[in-house]
């Protein structure tokens, strides 16, 4: 009996989120940076906060770290309310965007800083610092000063410094923003490996959607101080809930319109410019007849054919197809793919992404046909 | 051919530079040469001698004014170092109403002419009935030393990573520990060079010292000035050479320290 109680309690502890934000607001000099955020970040999760600059994502991270106090609401870490708890007493450590390494200390002393404050024994400091430096592959450069290191090396030291206190939650504020593309890819892999090896909760703030998609277990997309959607990378990409998320994560074509006819599994939408689109709405769709709607179609879901081909390449599906005539307005060669802009007869511009195949080359300004399945569209509330 | 041509003849830039240096340093060189002249009179060279240097060491008035100068400089600079650093950090970190006015007023002593500070301080001291002494010189020197040190420190502060202190707090340091263990060491080169600058200025100051000095207080510039009014004697030449060497060594030391700390970081 008591054993089951224990087990229940343990599972309760394990399911308790590491970081919780409850209706958190932050106002700076009359400007609201964060407008009522609710977040549950689970234990051991790689959680990303993604958004354009100025959306309040860094402020959210600073509220968790304790560098800012919320104007309203509550931040909880490991179930404890953090309101009024100063940064140096919170069980989190941060990797700063600009690394913020201590220039007057060597790599070794930078990493040992946190342990020495905790009055760890000399032997303990030696062992843990060398472990942490080995973990980030910086053990050979421990006697150097930060100014003698490259950006990627400084990044590793900043990581080791944040991990040395073994915090349950590590906060990363655009940690890879200052690195060049190739190094960024390398560090992404290493971050992911570190996360798996250590099993602690990572909270990453980034404006790079690719980084968020490739690293995270779950993503919160922020815009204008609010969370627009929280979900796994595939949920965010495949079924965005708002036009902003659809547009911000990957490329998309958005059509604003009204619902003309609605059946159980099909919507007929008329855009403001008069284009008629058939949409298979997702399960969560709850819009009504005559209401405003935004239709999103990913460029890679659209097929393109020269007018003479007709729809011969179109796959035979049960779902109705949307098929339109247009004119090829712009071609951008991307190597693996070709990016087309098609102007439809109604005047709307459509972005189409096609794999680069020599036989599918089409000349500029020629009349073309575009088509996509109604199942490949999303109906979103504006 | 084209590349070697400009080097073979003397360019006008080189001539101009040499002329500039001559303009700046020939008087000092002449001074140094005449400090070794045996004759009492600067006009004629009668032979090499170190007697003016020897007479310096026996001149108790001169030595006591040197002691006063060093005392004033060290005291004023060490107080200004503490206050100036706190002022720069405070102005950098906190937002409060009237901040830019406060900042402007604290740096004002840098632009106000020395004579204005000197007269104002004198009038102030007389009006509150404070008797003048070496302490009033120190108080007046703190006014401008403070501003110089604060300027140098705040320049360094604005080039520092703004998140350094937060990083220390994040790792578990209390605000006091973060200041002592991170901010202060990062600012130390600026504090030291600000102190050296302020010390040199304090040592050099004649106007403010002579207006605020009381009975018995007599700094080196005041002593030199009172002596040259009756004509330049060779012992003053010797003293000037010693002073120039002293400030040269000071500047070299400061530069060497800076170079060492740079090399530590960049090699």
CB spacing of B173 vs A117 below 8 angstroms = yes
Percent of chain A with pLDDT over 90: 47
Contacts of residue A76, defined as CB under 8 A and 6 or more positions apart, other chains included, come to: A17, A19, A20, A21, A22, A82
**pLDDT at A130 > cutoff 90:** yes
CB spacing of B265 vs A103 below 8 angstroms = yes
Contacts of A117 in chain B (CB under 8 A): 171-173, 177
Q: Are A60 and A49 in contact (CB under 8 A)?
A: yes
Q: Does A161 touch chain B (CB under 8 A)?
A: yes
CB spacing of B267 vs A148 below 8 angstroms = yes
- In the block, residue with structure tokens 């490739």: A214
**pLDDT at A166 > cutoff 60:** yes
Give B216's DSSP letter.
T
Chain B residue closest to A101 (CA)? B164
- Please give the average pLDDT of every successive group of 10 residues along chain B, which has 267 residues: 55 92 92 84 78 87 90 96 94 88 88 92 92 92 92 89 92 93 91 89 91 87 86 82 86 77 60
Dmax over CA atoms of chain B, in Å, equals 77
Contacts of B192 in chain A (CB under 8 A): none
CB spacing of B169 vs A102 below 8 angstroms = no
Distance from CA of B219 to the nearest CA of A (A): 38
Question: Which CATH architecture fits B44-266?
Answer: Orthogonal Bundle (1.10)
HSE on the CB side for A3, CA within 13 Å?
Answer: 0
**pLDDT at A318 > cutoff 80:** no
Q: In 10 A of CB A62, how many CB atoms? A: 21
Chain A residue closest to B172 (CA)? A88
Which candidate from B163, B173, B188 shows the least CB-CB separation from A100?
A: B163
Rg, C-alpha atoms of chain B: 24
Asked if this assembly's ipTM is beyond 0.85, the reply is: no
Rg, C-alpha atoms of chain A: 25
Please write the tens of the pLDDT for every residue from A254-271.
Answer: 998 888 888 877 888 888
Chain A residue closest to B188 (CA)? A104
Contacts of B170 in chain A (CB under 8 A): 65, 87-88, 92-94, 162
**pLDDT at A6 > cutoff 50:** no
Q: In 10 A of CB B125, how many CB atoms? A: 18
pTM of the complete model: 0.79
CB-based burial label for A352 (10 Å; 0-12, 13-18, 19+): buried
How large is the average pLDDT for residues A235-242?
89
Q: Are B62 and B221 in contact (CB under 8 A)?
A: no
Q: Hey, of A61, A88, A114, A161, which one would you mutate to test binding to chain B, going by the most B CBs within 10 A of its CB? A: A88
């Amino acid at each position: 009996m008591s054993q089951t109680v224990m087990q229940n309690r343990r599972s309760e502890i394990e399911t308790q989120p590491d970081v919780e934000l409850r209706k958190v607001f932050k106002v700076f000099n009359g400007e609201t940076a964060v407008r009522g955020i609710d977040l549950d970040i689970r234990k051991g999760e790689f959680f990303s906060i993604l958004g354009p600059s100025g959306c309040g994502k860094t402020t959210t991270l600073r509220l968790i770290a304790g560098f800012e106090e919320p104007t309203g609401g509550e931040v909880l870490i490991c179930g404890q309310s953090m309101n009024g708890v100063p940064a140096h007493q919170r069980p989190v450590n941060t990797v700063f965007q600009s690394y913020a390494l201590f220039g007057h200390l060597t790599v070794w002393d930078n990493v040992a800083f946190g342990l020495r404050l905790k009055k760890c024994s000399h032997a303990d400091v030696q062992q843990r610092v060398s472990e942490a430096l080995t973990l980030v592959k910086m053990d050979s450069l421990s006697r150097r000063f930060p100014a003698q290191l490259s950006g990627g090396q400084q990044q590793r030291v900043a990581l080791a410094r944040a991990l040395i206190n073994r915090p349950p939650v590590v906060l990363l504020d655009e940690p890879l923003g200052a690195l060049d593309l190739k190094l960024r890819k390398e560090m992404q892999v290493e971050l992911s490996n570190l996360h798996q090896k250590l099993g602690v909760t990572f909270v990453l703030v980034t404006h790079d959607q690719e980084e968020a998609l490739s690293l995270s277990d779950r993503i919160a997309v922020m815009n204008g101080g609010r969370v627009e959607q929280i979900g796994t990378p595939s949920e965010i990409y495949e079924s965005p809930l708002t036009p902003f998320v659809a547009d911000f994560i990957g490329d998309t074509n958005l059509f604003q319109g009204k619902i003309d006819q609605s059946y159980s599994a099909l919507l007929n939408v008329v855009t403001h410019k008069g284009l008629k689109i058939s949409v298979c709405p997702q399960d969560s769709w709850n819009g009504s007849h005559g209401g405003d709607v935004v239709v999103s179609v990913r460029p890679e879901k659209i097929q393109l054919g020269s007018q003479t081909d007709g729809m011969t390449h179109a796959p035979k599906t049960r779902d109705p197809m949307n098929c339109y005539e247009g004119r090829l307005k712009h071609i951008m060669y991307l190597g693996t793919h070709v990016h087309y802009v098609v102007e439809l007869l109604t005047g709307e511009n459509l972005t189409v992404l096609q794999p680069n195949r020599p036989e599918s080359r089409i000349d500029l300004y020629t009349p073309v046909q575009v088509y996509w399945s109604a199942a490949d569209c999303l109906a979103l509330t504006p | 051919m084209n590349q070697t041509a400009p080097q073979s003849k003397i360019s006008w830039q080189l001539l101009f530079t040499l002329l500039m240096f001559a303009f700046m340093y020939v008087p000092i060189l002449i001074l140094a040469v005449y400090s070794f002249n045996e004759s009492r009179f600067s006009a004629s060279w009668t032979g090499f001698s170190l007697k003016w240097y020897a007479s310096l060491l026996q001149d108790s008035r001169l030595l006591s004014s040197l002691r006063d100068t060093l005392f004033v400089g060290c005291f004023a600079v060490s107080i200004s170092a503490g206050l100036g650093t706190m002022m720069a950090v405070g102005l950098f970190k906190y937002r409060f109403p009237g901040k830019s006015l406060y900042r402007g007023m604290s740096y004002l002593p840098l632009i106000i002419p020395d004579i204005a500070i000197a007269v104002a301080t004198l009038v102030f001291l007389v009006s509150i009935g404070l008797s003048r002494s070496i302490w009033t010189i120190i108080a007046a020197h703190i006014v401008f030393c403070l501003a110089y040190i604060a300027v140098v420190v705040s320049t360094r502060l604005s080039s520092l990573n703004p998140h350094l202190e937060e990083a220390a707090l994040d790792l578990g340091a209390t605000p006091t520990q973060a200041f002592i263990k991170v901010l202060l060491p990062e600012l130390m080169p600026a504090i030291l060079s600000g102190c050296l600058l302020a010390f040199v200025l304090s040592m050099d100051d004649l106007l403010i010292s002579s207006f605020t000095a009381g009975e018995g207080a007599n700094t080196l510039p005041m002593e030199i000035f009172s002596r040259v009014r009756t004509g330049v004697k060779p012992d003053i030449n010797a003293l000037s050479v010693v002073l120039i060497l002293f400030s040269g060594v000071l500047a070299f030391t400061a530069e060497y320290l800076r170079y060492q700390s740079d090399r530590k970081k960049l090699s």
